[in-house]
Amino acid sequence: MKFTAEKNALIAKRGGETLRIEGWGKDSLRVRAVMYDGWTGNDWALTETPEETACNITIGTESNPNGDGTFGQVPCAEIENGRIRATVNFAGVISFYRDGKLILREYYRSYGGTLSEGSRCLKIVNREWKGNIGGSEYTLTVKFDANDGEKIYGMGQYQQPWLNLKGNLLELAQRNSQISVPFMVSSMGYGLLWNNPAIGQVAFANNYTEWTARSTKQMDYWITAADGPKQILKNYTDATGRAPMFPENLMGLWQCKLRYRTQDEVLTVARQYQKEGIKIDQIVIDFFHWTLQGDWKFDKTYWPDPKAMVDELHAMGIRVIVSVWPSVDRKSENFAPMMEQGLLIRTERGAAQTYDYQGDCVEIDPFNPETRKYIWKVCRKNYYDYGIDGFWLDNSEPDYGVYDFENYRYCAGPALSCSNMYPQMFSRAFFEPMKDEKKETPVNLLRCGWAGSQKYGNVIWSGDVPSTFQALREQLQAGLNMGLAGIPWWTTDIGGFMTDDVNDPDFRQLLIRWYQFAVYSAVLRMHGDRGPYNIPPLDTRDWGGGYLHTGQPNELWSYGEENYAIMRKYYDIRISMHDYIRDLYREASENGSPLIRTMFYEFPEDAKCWDLQDQYMFGGKYLVAPVMELNRFERDVYLPEGRWKNINNGEILEGGKTVSVQAPIEEIPVFEKL
């Protein structure tokens, strides 16, 4: 291994690989490597200018056994940036230290390596570059030693019951309800960003950790050291950006259903809310209000005067957001020009089709700046100029008909190399021109995101999840880990998306429990596809805004007087917390803190809090213990040290213990930290 030093960077070369480790913000290092000097110049998620730091770099030698009982001197080097230090041995193996304590080390079991005597014949190296046949990219595998007792969090959103990801195998790919945001927070006092949008996987196994990118030219990861998760997240968002300040007029109730089919339906619902004395901040116009996918315009048959509709809603103080999909039907007026200009995703083989729901479609390529200009020009004319305030960028993974990433290509390269960044590029097609035109914070709703998406006005929701208590439990894990991955604007479909029968009393109980949870989260949003599907379509055509089905009503009063009373009560609670919620959003914009937080985020010194996954903190003040089982009307709650007030009955309790709490259907257990 040959070592050299540049300003703030340690360079090492061996076997055709060039390794570069440099200071990248406070107590942080960026680690990159390529084969044969093929640097890409991509910063991916690391978009922010790092804080200026001065690194100490030392190049020297160390003693190493020769295998015959003698020792010799071999080259080694280290780089130190504040509290984090990385050493590189003669075989290129990197070890990371926080305040002198080992926190992470690359896994190496091969000839000439002495990190694991007796395992050298395995011939396993720390970084494996395997050339993809016929291309310039590699399949890259990077291994690290596993740390006994380590707990791992973050990484975005996966539909599973585990908050602690240790022992999990995670696909690094975007799907409906799965969001890959490859930043992990460790209980050992560090955070690591896999700064690569390639399709792959990570295994946080007990024997080693393994990151894989299926098609890439460059290894790139960033690591930071800190005492606790709050400082780790601050360092991370220093490097990748933070959410802007959330508008105060969107912190209340958002109203949505699948689907309002006409402008009269939208106005009727808005007027009824006004009559009920309930202020809704935003109403959402869902899919198939359009003529064809990719036309990106209202069907005039059912939306004859969108501007008049928007003007009336604005007069009520209600903002309007409209659904935009990235799919373009072959019959759309935009298909031919976009295909001709190369603005759509290419298929490597077979038919030029990427999506087949309700049409023969190809999806847009938002990596192409000309695509982003084209779609904004159309949506500006057909929506924004009417006064539409924001966009629901649905199917933003994108939702492929078949998730065969090998078959798709963007202008930025094969989908295998960059597809995880698709939702972020899609959102930027709207965020950037909206920001330029109005000079205020645009807020758009997306079903997916990637590292750094928090910068682009993204409210991300958890996708089309079923209406079950199991799904509710999984959404809590998803939301907490999304927050630890730097995404504070996160929400769910209250009650889940897919409901067979809105009259089922079990579903109505689920709806109430989900609604109570949503009140104590970043965005309170009514949405869902509510069966039974016995409402006839408006039109006999097989296209346009009238032919597709709609679900049952989904307004607060739609589920009976008793449930309406509970939802109205918790709506009032949400409104009463406006100033507190505003402060939480401000904190997110200042240091990256999520609104819903794991218990250990606020109490990192309490070992029990690192294992809790059925309760959480809403900011630093409220401990929330949602009820996530059918017919459960009491539950245990752990209170950390301190004094706590049960907000439902005013009782003051001393912490440091688990208490049993009553939870009738009209109450969610919440404790205020005194």
- DSSP assignment of 590-658: HH---SEE-HHHH-TT-GGGGG--S-EEETTTEEE----STT--EEEEEE-SSEEEETTT--EEESSEE
Same domain, 647 and 569: no
Mean pLDDT of the chain: 96
Is the per-residue pLDDT at 112 higher than 70?
no
Residue 542, domain member (yes or no): no
* 145-202 pLDDT tens trace: 999 999 999 999 999 999 999 999 999 999 999 999 999 999 999 999 999 999 999 9
Residue 52 or 475, more confident = 475
Residue 456, domain member (yes or no): no
DSSP state for residue 568 in the 8-state scheme: H
- In percent, the amount of the chain with pLDDT more than 90 equals 92
Q: For the domain that residue 653 is a member of, what is the CATH number?
A: 2.60.40.1180
Contact present, 317 and 277 (Cβ < 8 Å): no
| CB atoms near residue 336 (< 10 Å) | 11
348 is catalytic: no
Q: Who's near 80: CB < 8 A, 6+ residues apart?
A: 55, 56, 57, 86
* The last residue of a domain, from among 223, 240, 257: 240
Same domain, 557 and 663: no
Q: Who's near 507: CB < 8 A, 6+ residues apart?
A: 467, 495, 499, 501
Contact present, 601 and 587 (Cβ < 8 Å): no
Same domain, 645 and 625: yes
Domain region containing 664:
598-673
Same domain, 564 and 602: no
Same domain, 168 and 274: no
Residue 644, domain member (yes or no): yes
Same domain, 178 and 56: yes
Cis peptide before 259 (omega within 30 of 0): yes
Residue 67's pLDDT is 64
Same domain, 69 and 212: yes
Please tell me which residue in 80, 145, 238, 397 is annotated as part of the active site: 397
**Coil, strand or helix at 666:** coil
397 is catalytic: yes
Helices (H), 151-262: 229-240
Q: For the domain that residue 562 is a member of, what is the CATH number?
A: 3.20.20.80
Q: How many domains does the chain have?
A: 4
In this prediction, residues 647-657 reach a mean pLDDT of 98
Residue 467, domain member (yes or no): no
Model pTM score = 0.97
Residue 302, domain member (yes or no): no
Please tell me which residue in 106, 145, 329, 394 is annotated as part of the active site: 394
Same domain, 655 and 616: yes
Same domain, 110 and 27: yes
Residue 71 or 507, more confident = 507
In this prediction, residues 634-656 reach a mean pLDDT of 98
131 sits in the region (left: phi over 0; alpha: psi -120 to 50; else beta) called beta
Residue 392, domain member (yes or no): yes
Same domain, 556 and 582: yes
Same domain, 10 and 74: yes
145 is catalytic: no
Same domain, 21 and 152: yes
Residue 298, domain member (yes or no): no
Residue 512's pLDDT is 98
Residue 265, domain member (yes or no): yes
* 496-555 pLDDT tens trace: 999 999 999 999 999 999 999 999 999 999 999 999 999 999 999 888 889 899 999 999
Pairing state between β 390-393 and 319-324 = parallel
